[in-house]
């Protein structure tokens, strides 16, 4: 009898713990970001990643990842080096990626947005890569004296396009 009562209680506690691990807001460096509605909190898969989110399509058949990086003041390379590196993560040459770079300001900070579409070479920096045709990258580099914050969204092109507004709102709304 005790174990029968324990199981529902355990399930309730486990659900509460899971909910506590999915913050509505989170910090990366000095910035606090609001997680867009429907975007899932994911435990980071590397110590280099400061936060990680999963974005699923409405039918849940495809998903994308959003990763936040911060390496500290003077670390992680400048904006141009990162833009070039992001574009080089595609199989096709840069001129075939429909590459876009846009600079803007929000909250007194310079933000550089990057986008590209093609065959994304998914995988760790020095490891085996998996080609992902029909993928897009949306990136944002938020400049800061405490070190730039790099936000990178990678996933199917249609999902990236439908998520662009939420992505920009999240980046520009960072406090």
In a domain, 2, yes or no: no
Task: Determine the distance from the C-alpha atom of residue 59 to the mean position of all C-alpha atoms in its chain, rounded to a whole number.
Answer: 20
Domain total in the chain: 1
In a domain, 87, yes or no: yes
How far apart CA 163 and CA 166 sit, in angstroms, is: 5
Q: Is 119 left (phi over 0), alpha (psi -120 to 50) or beta?
A: beta
Instruction: Provide the CATH number for the domain around residue 70.
Output: 3.40.1000
Contacts of 97 (CB under 8 A, 6+ apart): 87, 90, 116, 117, 118
In a domain, 106, yes or no: yes
In a domain, 135, yes or no: yes
Tell me, what's the pLDDT at 16?
Answer: 37
> Which range of residues forms the domain containing residue 80?
22-172
Q: Tokens for 22, please give them.
A: 């999915």
Contacts of 46 (CB under 8 A, 6+ apart): 124
Tell me, what's the pLDDT at 46?
Answer: 87
| 75: Cα within 13 Å, side-chain hemisphere | 9
Contacts of 152 (CB under 8 A, 6+ apart): 66, 67, 69, 86, 137, 138, 139
In a domain, 9, yes or no: no
How far apart CA 158 and CA 175 sit, in angstroms, is: 29
Tell me, what's the pLDDT at 12?
Answer: 39
Local confidence pLDDT in tens for the 175 residues of the chain:
444 444 444 343 334 334 446 899 999 999 999 999 999 999 998 889 999 999 999 999 999 999 999 999 999 999 999 999 999 999 999 999 999 999 999 988 999 999 999 999 999 888 999 999 999 999 999 999 999 999 999 999 999 999 999 999 999 999 9
Length reported for the chain = 175
In a domain, 64, yes or no: yes
In a domain, 8, yes or no: no
In a domain, 62, yes or no: yes
């Amino acid at each position: 009898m005790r174990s029968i009562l324990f199981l529902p209680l355990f399930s309730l506690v486990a659900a509460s713990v899971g909910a506590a691990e999915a913050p509505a807001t989170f910090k990366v460096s000095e910035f606090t970001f609001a997680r867009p509605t429907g975007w899932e909190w994911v435990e980071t898969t590397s110590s280099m990643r400061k936060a990680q989110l999963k974005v699923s399509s409405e039918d849940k058949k495809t998903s994308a990842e959003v990763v936040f990086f911060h390496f500290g003041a003077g670390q992680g390379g400048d904006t141009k080096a990162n833009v070039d590196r992001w574009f080089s993560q595609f199989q096709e040459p840069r001129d075939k990626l429909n590459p876009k770079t846009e600079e803007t300001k929000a909250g007194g900070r310079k933000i550089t947005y990057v986008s590209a579409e093609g065959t994304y070479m998914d995988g760790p920096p020095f490891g085996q890569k998996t080609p992902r045709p029909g993928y897009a990258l949306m990136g944002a580099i938020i400049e800061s004296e405490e070190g730039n914050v790099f936000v990178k969204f990678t996933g199917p092109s249609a999902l990236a396009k439908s998520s662009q507004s939420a992505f920009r709102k999240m980046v520009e709304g960072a406090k």
